[in-house]
Amino acid sequence: MSYSTALSIYLALIVCVSAGKIKSFDYGNVKPLRLRHVLPEVNMNVSQMIQYNGYPVENHDVITKDGYILSIQRIPYGRHGRCKDVDSKPVIFLQHGLLCSSTNWVANLPDESFAFIAADSCFDVWLGNVRGNTYGKRHVKYPIHSDEFWDFSFDEMAKYDLPAMINYTLKTTGHETLYYAGHSQGTMIGFIEFSRNPDLIKKVKTFYALAPVSTVTYMGGAFKWLSYFTPEFEEFFKIFGIRDFFPSNEILRILSELICGHKVVRDVCSDILFLIAGVDTKQLNETRMPIYISHTPAGTSVKNMVHFAQLHKSKKFQMYDYGSVQKNKLHYGQGSPPEYNVSAVDVPSALYWGGKDVLADPRDVKSLMTKLPNQLYNKYLPPWNHLDFIWALDSGNLVYRDVIMHIKSQEKK
């Protein structure tokens, strides 16, 4: 499948699904094209996925200062009671990336998924979610179909969601500090808030950035092309009254069940899934593709997608651009969006980055590394792309256990 064809399919699905044009599917006499049975996790939520694999799970609702209700998950100990009686476990908080959710950390087998590996290593594991995704679609005041609900980008995720989740985690566990590991957008909101929030900074022992994102000057994929048509893109979605961007729902679950499990057409799913994050690699566990597709994309706001496109066009790591000097002055008191200062990130940081990452391009990551003032180390994985950091077959050995090893060495000091 060509890139342009996949992009056309992708955008058509966005319009149909987001606008509610596709709400159900008539199976009729259609025979599902599949060689394998449907994996049970395809139809589970994140808590059910955790329990299915033999781990305990707690669901917690976190309310942000601006009223969003975020459902986050906790795995307090390991599989089948492992580490249950261990006192004072280190707390690790895992934050997903763009268009993703907490399912990313539990979508593979127990010895391959970050959350499961950490829990079995005697960590108290917390899984974050941000506004607008599958587990962040509630507000104390605004209904989900209102303009007010969807008026956000990663600016607000950093300002409100991240502090609320970390503070709640520490209050619940009784700990004063925790370890933070983010992927993609999860690193971005960390770079933003760990550079300006003194209260939050002192609560994070170490920041592990997987596929780190700040500037996206050199990014490829769908966002690069979207950046050329940002005003038209915004106007198009306004006309159709679409506020949320590609939520995970029935059409995606059907797509994964009917199509993605069959080897012949699995590449179709791969093209759609990797339009933004990069092409498929040998690192991907293809047998798990139905699970990935059924839970990701998990949705975000159109405004957030536009904000990412703006970063590429401006070549700056800055706040949302409202499109005119007057509007920016109204929001920021100046004619252009303020830039974020990664040189002020005052949390010890470790970076894991890939050589074939089209969203966190190596050139952008190298530029980021020259600015971070408190970098502990970095690990370069030449053949990896953006999604390998959450789904690669050897991510457990090359990244997750490496992070855990470094944390345990810190705990011994």
Tokens representing 1? 């499948």
Within 194-273, strands assigned E span 204-210, 244-245
| Sequence letter at residue 314 | S
Residues in the chain, how many? 413
Which single residue is written with the structure tokens 């507000």? 139
Q: Are 94 and 181 in contact (CB under 8 A)?
A: yes
* Strand 244-245 to 58-63 pairing: unpaired
212: nearest Cα among 355, 359, 318: 359
210: nearest Cα among 353, 98, 97: 353
Tokens representing 319? 């706040």
For the purposes of burial, counting CB atoms within 10 Å of the CB of 113, is it exposed (0-12), middle (13-18) or buried (19 or more)? Answer: buried
Element (H, E) at 165: helix 162-173
Tokens representing 192? 């933003």
* Strand 124-127 to 68-75 pairing: antiparallel
d(CA 165, CA 131): 11
**Active-site residues: which are they?**
184, 357, 386
Tokens representing 51? 């329990």
| Sequence letter at residue 378 | N
